[in-house]
A and B are shown apart, each in its own frame.
Chain A
Amino acid sequence: MDTSKIVVEATGLTKVYGSKTAVDNISFAVDRGEIFGFLGPNGAGKTTTVLMMLGLTEPSAGRVEVMGLDPRFASIKVKQMVGYLPENVGFYGDLTGRQNLLYVARLNGLTDKVSHDRIDQALDAVGLKDEGDKRAAAYSRGMRQRLGIAELLIREPDIVFLDEPTLGLDPDGINRMISLIQSLSLERNMTVLLSSHQLHQVQRICHRVGIMIKGKLVAVGTIDELAKEKLGVEQDTFTLEEIYMKYFKEA
């Protein structure tokens, strides 16, 4: 396995749909153990970037490497190391939450004995201990999202891609999700890439952010770095919102 610090690296990554360039020649690198956030308005190309990192869609140009591997050619190896929480994560409605998790565990080659232990722990960790035997169709949006995190906990990947993990959650749900994401990084040593357009949350947990607007990655850095560059301020009185609006107006 590649032991260098960089776990995800994109160079000149581009995706064109017909006449629309959804992702326009972006380059970035994510280090091991980081929480990295993609920020951008609707249609900025965040989801498309994540899909290319997973090999679920092919780049039109450029390349992306995950742990030094190209997801197009080493798709199984990459998918073994990467967990993915899609934008609108789906579950089989007529199976219970527990059965849904068991299916994923089996697809990952876990024995049923190991799976049952991990499922219990994961359901406990995301606060769905008592709901595990309910049909997934009866889950609320927040519960589905947490079940999605439980799925990642069971798989124990090195890297996780979370696409809009806090979308559609109430403030309490958002807080829970944020602390779950933080625990992925702190307690499980996972590298986290997440996309969002909810800036407050991102500001609380991301080590570094990339600002995406209309397919272009207009800035990458820590929030402090971006503030210095854009607003010329040193003290932390600014919000990410202000920085973001500056970039947004220029684009």
Chain B
Amino acid sequence: MRGMWVIYRKELADHFSSNRFVILFALITMVSLITTFMVGTSLKKELEGIARPSLVFMMLFTSTGDLFSLAQFIAFFGPLIGLVLGFDAINRERINGTLSKLAAQPIYRDAIINGKFMAGVVTIKIMLLSIVLLISGLGLFTLGVTPGPEEVGRVLIYLVISIFYISFWLGVAILFSIFFRNIATSALAAIALWIFFSFFVTFGASLAANALVPIDQNQGADAERLFAHAQVQKAVSLLSPMKLYSDATSTILDPMRKTTRSLILIGPMERVSMDRFNRPLPLGQSILVVFPYIVFLILITLICFAISYLAFMRQEIRSG
């Protein structure tokens, strides 16, 4: 335990004094502020003269404005934070010749991984928290509404899911830094995985759906077929942590959504019932809907860790 805390403290200090942290933070802050400002002003214009909808504060995160919504931005860009904080965690020490020294101290080897992971997670937490606070502050200013307790609750849950999500990517990056002894290789591999999940899984999902349940454009498919098609597409795309995350956060941020399923998967009677009770889903219910997603995010992070431990515990540690 002692070893882990000492390593954690050093790594945290390293993160906060590193250039890469400053650059990353500046970039994200800049994009967030610009997006918030644009979304805020356009929302304000649209809302002029009409009755204010409930939970308008949440729209700050979900409206797309001219470019993209803040939620989309974090979903796409967030992994990069995790990757940048961890891709050289172990292999840099190996190359510097400090790993063999570190491993020769009276500490358990897993303390090295744990300490580094914890320092990364705390860095992520601080980054996200300050960004969400900035967004909320600027949103308050441009929109002129104060968030109610439910909105604050939703933003907090969004924050928690985002931290889990980005921490998963940190776990992946640390795993790569154990497997690849070359820093450039592990950076490239991490970015490749990120791009794969960002773009190709969605693409692969529609490919798989077309192959398994082809839909003839001319004939017009029956509802059952459409349904099966969408089912396959959804199942495959859930392989991507990004999809998992977007689904989970969209339910939290947009209370009018009562299911993580896309509209096509909602049965006709269900739609009638949803229309009838067209009120926002209460916070508690939203949490219930996304709970499995959070569990799954934690699960894949743990799997990442298990592999890291197995690989690192048995690795030979030689300097030079």
Question: Which residues of A are interface residues toward B (Cβ below 8 A)?
Answer: 47, 51, 54, 56-58, 75-77, 79-80, 82-84, 86-93, 103-104, 106-109, 151
Question: From A83, which residue of chain B is reached at the shortest CB distance?
Answer: B104
Tell me the residues in window 1-59 of chain B with beta carbons closer than 8 Å to chain A beta carbons: 2-3, 6-7, 10
Give chain B nearest CB distance to A74 CB in angstroms. Answer: 11
Of B105-113, B172-180, B252-260, B300-308, which binds chain A? B105-113
Query: With an 8 A cutoff between CB atoms, is B62 at the interface?
Result: no
Query: With an 8 A cutoff between CB atoms, is B317 at the interface?
Result: yes
Complex: how many Å from CA A80 to CA B106? 5
Across the interface, do B107 and A92 meet the contact criterion of CB distance under 8 Å? Answer: no
Across the interface, do A89 and B6 meet the contact criterion of CB distance under 8 Å? Answer: no
Across the interface, do A89 and B318 meet the contact criterion of CB distance under 8 Å? Answer: no
Would you give the 0/1 interface string for B83-120, flagging 1 where the beta carbon is closer than 8 Å to chain A? 00000000001001111111111111000000000000
Q: Which of B6, B97, B100, B316 has the most CB of A within 10 A?
A: B100
Across the interface, do A89 and B97 meet the contact criterion of CB distance under 8 Å? Answer: yes
Across the interface, do A51 and B316 meet the contact criterion of CB distance under 8 Å? Answer: yes
Complex: how many Å from CA A251 to CA B320? 28
Complex: how many Å from CA A80 to CA B104? 9
Complex: how many Å from CA A54 to CA B109? 13
Q: What residues of B have a CB within 8 angstroms of the CB of A91 in the complex?
A: 96, 98
Give chain A nearest CB distance to B111 CB in angstroms. Answer: 9
Give chain B nearest CB distance to A52 CB in angstroms. Answer: 10
Query: With an 8 A cutoff between CB atoms, is B319 at the interface?
Result: yes
Across the interface, do B317 and A57 meet the contact criterion of CB distance under 8 Å? Answer: yes
Q: Which of A47, A84, A93, A107 has the most CB of B within 10 A?
A: A107
Query: With an 8 A cutoff between CB atoms, is B276 at the interface?
Result: no
Complex: how many Å from CA A45 to CA B10? 34
Complex: how many Å from CA A71 to CA B7? 23
Complex: how many Å from CA A75 to CA B7? 19
Q: What residues of B have a CB within 8 angstroms of the CB of A103 in the complex?
A: 6, 10
Q: What residues of A have a CB within 8 angstroms of the CB of B98 in the complex?
A: 90-92
Give chain B nearest CB distance to A64 CB in angstroms. Answer: 15
Across the interface, do B320 and A87 meet the contact criterion of CB distance under 8 Å? Answer: yes
Give chain B nearest CB distance to A82 CB in angstroms. Answer: 8
Given the known inter-chain contacts A79-B104, A86-B100, A89-B97, please indicate yes or no for A107 contacting B319, CB distance below 8 A. Answer: no
Complex: how many Å from CA A107 to CA B317? 18
- Given A83-B104, A90-B93, output 13 extra A-B contacts at Cβ < 8 Å: A47-B318, A56-B316, A57-B317, A76-B106, A76-B108, A79-B106, A86-B100, A86-B101, A86-B320, A88-B97, A89-B97, A104-B105, A107-B107
Question: From B100, which residue of chain A is reached at the shortest CB distance?
Answer: A86
Q: What residues of B have a CB within 8 angstroms of the CB of A80 in the complex?
A: 106
Q: What residues of B have a CB within 8 angstroms of the CB of A92 in the complex?
A: 96, 98
Given the known inter-chain contacts A56-B103, A108-B105, please indicate yes or no for A88 contacting B319, CB distance below 8 A. Answer: yes
Complex: how many Å from CA A71 to CA B101? 16
Question: From B97, which residue of chain A is reached at the shortest CB distance?
Answer: A90
Q: What residues of A have a CB within 8 angstroms of the CB of B99 in the complex?
A: 90
Complex: how many Å from CA A151 to CA B101? 10
Given the known inter-chain contacts A90-B319, A103-B6, A106-B6, please indicate yes or no for A56 contacting B100, CB distance below 8 A. Answer: yes
Q: What residues of A have a CB within 8 angstroms of the CB of B318 in the complex?
A: 47, 51, 56-57
Complex: how many Å from CA A88 to CA B98? 9
Given the known inter-chain contacts A56-B316, A56-B317, A92-B98, please indicate yes or no for A76 contacting B104, CB distance below 8 A. Answer: no
Tell me the residues in window 285-312 of chain B with beta carbons closer than 8 Å to chain A beta carbons: none
Per a CB cutoff under 8 Å, which of B2, B93, B107, B319 touches A89? B319
Question: From B2, which residue of chain A is reached at the shortest CB distance?
Answer: A109
Across the interface, do A76 and B107 meet the contact criterion of CB distance under 8 Å? Answer: yes
Q: What residues of B have a CB within 8 angstroms of the CB of A87 in the complex?
A: 319-320
Across the interface, do B97 and A57 meet the contact criterion of CB distance under 8 Å? Answer: no
Given the known inter-chain contacts A57-B318, A84-B101, A104-B105, please indicate yes or no for A90 contacting B10, CB distance below 8 A. Answer: no
Give chain B nearest CB distance to A155 CB in angstroms. Answer: 8
Complex: how many Å from CA A84 to CA B99? 12
Across the interface, do B6 and A86 meet the contact criterion of CB distance under 8 Å? Answer: no
Complex: how many Å from CA A92 to CA B320? 15
Complex: how many Å from CA A51 to CA B103? 11
- A-B CB proximity, top 10 nearest: A90-B97, A88-B320, A86-B319, A84-B104, A57-B316, A90-B98, A79-B106, A90-B96, A80-B106, A107-B105
